[in-house]
Amino acid sequence: MSTAQDTLRVRIPIAQRSRNGRPRIQPPADYVPDTDGGTDPHVLRNFAQAWSWRRKLESGEANTIEDIARLAGVTHRMVGRMLKLTYLAPAVLERLLLERVPPTVPVKELTIVADMDWADQVRVGAN
């Protein structure tokens, strides 16, 4: 049996939050990692889904955004918004997907940035 002198307690201030239905451990607010972990896998999944939907439209596999939404089980508004990700500037896509630099704005705001000219997209810092 151990005594109080043998016991060492370590307290790590973390919180568990749910993200997309999965538990995720959140570090303290003042924690700054040594290196960045790269692009969030959820962001990469959004890009992959958007490009898949665009290919289906272009190949004729799906005729409308509503068809894609019905097949994917999401709203047509979400499909329309996510399809905008396929119109980001090549320089922005290269930084996000190849170099794995995390976006400086949330994915929802990236869809707004996609409406800009390619030069403006790079200038506003969507990369």
Rounded CA-CA distance 99/93 in Å is: 9
Q: How confident is the model at residue 79 (pLDDT cuts 50, 70, 90)?
A: very high
Question: What is the pLDDT at residue 107?
Answer: 84
- Apex CA 105: angle with CA 38 and CA 102, to 5°? 10
Residue 73 is predicted with a pLDDT of 94
Burial class (CB in 10 A: 0-12, 13-18, 19+), 41: exposed
The pLDDT of 83-98, averaged and rounded, is 89
Cα(89)–Cα(30) distance, integer angstroms: 34
Q: Is the pLDDT of residue 116 over 80?
A: yes
Please determine, for residue 127, whether its predicted confidence score (pLDDT) is greater than 60.
no
Domain limits at 82?
41-123
From the list 119, 120, 92, the residue with the least C-alpha distance to 107 is 92
The answer to whether the beta carbons of residues 110 and 116 sit under 8 Å apart is no
Handedness of CA 105, 107, 108, 110 (dihedral sign): positive
Identify the residue with better confidence: 48 or 11.
48
Query: Is 86:50 a contact under the CB 8 Å cutoff?
Result: yes
- How many distinct structural domains can be found in the chain? 1
Let me know if residue 32 belongs to a domain: no
Q: What is the pTM of this model?
A: 0.65
Considering the chain, what percentage of its residues have pLDDT values greater than 70? Answer: 83
Question: Residue 30 domain-assigned?
Answer: no
pLDDT at 71: 92
Q: What is residue 70's three-state secondary structure? A: helix
